[in-house]
């Protein structure tokens, strides 16, 4: 039955006015149990887990229950060479980064200011400024919705990749992340390979200084979702074959290419969109951000359809010019749950 009475506007960062049948905040594993445990409920009424809704686009009202994960708790254990952290999935990611630095534990600083909850971080293996979550993650604790089985996935089992993990594939829609384990090495080494961090001296720089530099870069480049609705990079940076890369290098020698370990070549989606002169393009209330072309924004009145139509145009123009197909990074949510985003914008 659909009776969309609860607004999701404050529960996702795109700020689009969509509704759900019900919204429940779960502060403990027990609360989650009673909301979605019984197979019967789960099968008849769709359930959607949300952290802070900073990586989702609702396409319609949601015909089910949205569970906001707020399972808290941070436990830190010291070993001879590391700090081991066990963190509840509902903890705020940026606050965790800040808290570790305040305690003198380096290692998460390059991932500062990424919105969202700790439990969502492994799902797309969050990354920024040459650090990805899998480099600091030890395990992901999950509970399956169908039978309540608890399982710990080590990092190999998580199959982490660029903006990817097993949780987006085999187990899609079937689990709740309840906690994440981290290992922060005591022997800290700064990661300063990103172009705007190279001015820092690796011999003297501290984790806090790297954190402050990252926060400055991000504040300059990315729109604040509390002011302008968005979900960060709307598209993933495309990974292309070496043969297409060679072809593009001849036609566009100024577009940088980044060779990956697996032989694929990564391009910057923002740069491709920028080259198509799409910055500022507006469809209804949705627009390509003027400073960062990879980010699509809600100028205030965007409908889901505006964002989808804009994404479709951007994908089409980039494909026509470069023969490269952009894929959304953002999870698209239909009235029944997570849906195939590429299909929607094709």
How are strands ordered across the β-sheet holding 258-259? 239-240, 265-266, 258-259
Return the one option of ligand EPU, ligand FAD, none that residue 268 interacts with (CB less than 5 to 8 A, by type): ligand EPU
Return the one option of ligand EPU, ligand FAD, none that residue 51 interacts with (CB less than 5 to 8 A, by type): ligand FAD
Residue of 21, 54, 100, 237 that binds ligand FAD (CB under 6 A):
54
How are strands ordered across the β-sheet holding 282-283? 229-233, 295-298, 286-288, 282-283
Residues shown for the chain: 346
Residue of 26, 123, 136, 294 that binds ligand FAD (CB under 6 A):
123
Q: Is 48 in the site for ligand FAD (CB under 6 A)?
A: yes
Secondary structure (3-state) at 265: strand
Q: Is 129 in the site for ligand EPU (CB under 6 A)?
A: yes
Query: Rounded CA gap, 135 and 22, in Å?
Result: 37
**How open is the CA angle 287-290-294, to the nearest 5 degrees?**
70
Residue nearest to ligand EPU (CB): 232
* Contact pattern for ligand EPU over residues 279 through 318, marking x by CB under 6 A: -------------xxx------------------------
Q: Is 107 in the site for ligand FAD (CB under 6 A)?
A: no
Please indicate whether residue 329 is annotated as part of the active site: yes
Beta strands 337-339 and 331-334 are: antiparallel
**What is the token pair recorded at 254?**
């100024």
* R_g over Cα of the chain: 20
**How open is the CA angle 335-30-10, to the nearest 5 degrees?**
40
CB 170 within 8 A of CB 123: no
- Interacting span for ligand FAD (CB under 6 A) from 51-59, 206-214, 280-288, 306-314: 51-59
Query: How big is the site for ligand EPU, counted in residues (CB under 6 A)?
Result: 15
Return the one option of ligand EPU, ligand FAD, none that residue 119 interacts with (CB less than 5 to 8 A, by type): ligand FAD
**How open is the CA angle 305-229-218, to the nearest 5 degrees?**
135
Q: Is 268 in the site for ligand EPU (CB under 6 A)?
A: yes
Nearer to ligand FAD among residue 119 and residue 207 (C-beta): 119
Alpha carbon separation from 31 to 12, 35, 181, 258 (Å, rounded): 21, 6, 22, 45
Q: Is 230 in the site for ligand FAD (CB under 6 A)?
A: yes
Alpha carbons within 13 angstroms on the beta-carbon side of residue 344 total 23
Please indicate whether residue 163 is annotated as part of the active site: yes
Nearer to ligand FAD among residue 128 and residue 248 (C-beta): 128
Chain residues in the site for ligand FAD (CB under 6 A):
13, 48-56, 69, 89, 114-117, 119-121, 123-124, 126-128, 175-177, 222, 225, 230-232, 331, 338
Chain residues in the site for ligand EPU (CB under 6 A):
128-129, 221, 232-233, 236-237, 268, 270-271, 274, 292-294, 329
Which sequence positions are flagged as catalytic? 163, 233, 329
């Amino acid at each position: 039955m659909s009776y969309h009475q609860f607004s999701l506007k404050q529960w996702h960062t795109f700020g689009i006015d969509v509704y759900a049948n019900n919204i429940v905040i779960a502060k403990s594993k027990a609360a989650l149990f009673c909301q979605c445990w019984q197979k019967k409920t789960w099968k008849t009424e769709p359930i959607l887990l949300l952290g802070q809704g900073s990586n989702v686009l609702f396409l319609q009202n949601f015909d089910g229950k949205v569970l906001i994960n707020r399972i808290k708790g941070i436990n830190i254990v010291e070993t001879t060479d590391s700090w081991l952290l066990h963190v509840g999935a509902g903890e705020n990611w940026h606050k965790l980064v800040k808290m570790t630095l305040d305690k003198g534990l380096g290692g998460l600083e390059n991932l500062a200011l990424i919105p969202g909850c700790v439990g969502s971080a492994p799902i797309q293996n969050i990354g920024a400024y040459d650090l990805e979550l899998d480099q600091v993650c030890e395990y992901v604790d999950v509970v399956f919705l169908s039978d309540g089985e608890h399982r710990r996935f080590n990092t190999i089992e998580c199959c982490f990749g660029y903006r990817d993990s097993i949780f987006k594939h085999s187990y899609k829609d079937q689990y709740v992340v309840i906690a994440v384990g981290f290992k922060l090495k005591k022997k800290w080494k700064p990661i300063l390979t990103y172009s705007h961090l190279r001015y820092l001296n690796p011999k003297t720089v501290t984790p806090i200084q790297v954190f402050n530099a990252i926060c400055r870069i991000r504040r300059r480049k990315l729109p604040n979702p509390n002011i302008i609705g968005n979900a960060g990079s709307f598209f993933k940076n495309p990974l292309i074959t070496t043969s297409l890369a060679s072809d593009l290098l001849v036609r566009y020698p100024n577009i940088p290419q980044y060779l990956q370990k697996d032989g694929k070549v990564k391009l910057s989606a923002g740069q491709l969109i920028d080259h198509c002169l799409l910055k500022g393009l507006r469809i209804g209330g949705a627009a390509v951000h003027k400073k960062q072309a990879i980010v699509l924004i809600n100028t205030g009145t965007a409908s889901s359809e505006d964002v989808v139509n804009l994404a479709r145009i951007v994908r089409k123009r980039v494909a026509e010019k470069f023969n490269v197909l952009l894929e959304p990074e953002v999870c698209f949510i239909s009235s029944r749950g997570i849906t195939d985003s590429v299909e929607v914008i094709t």
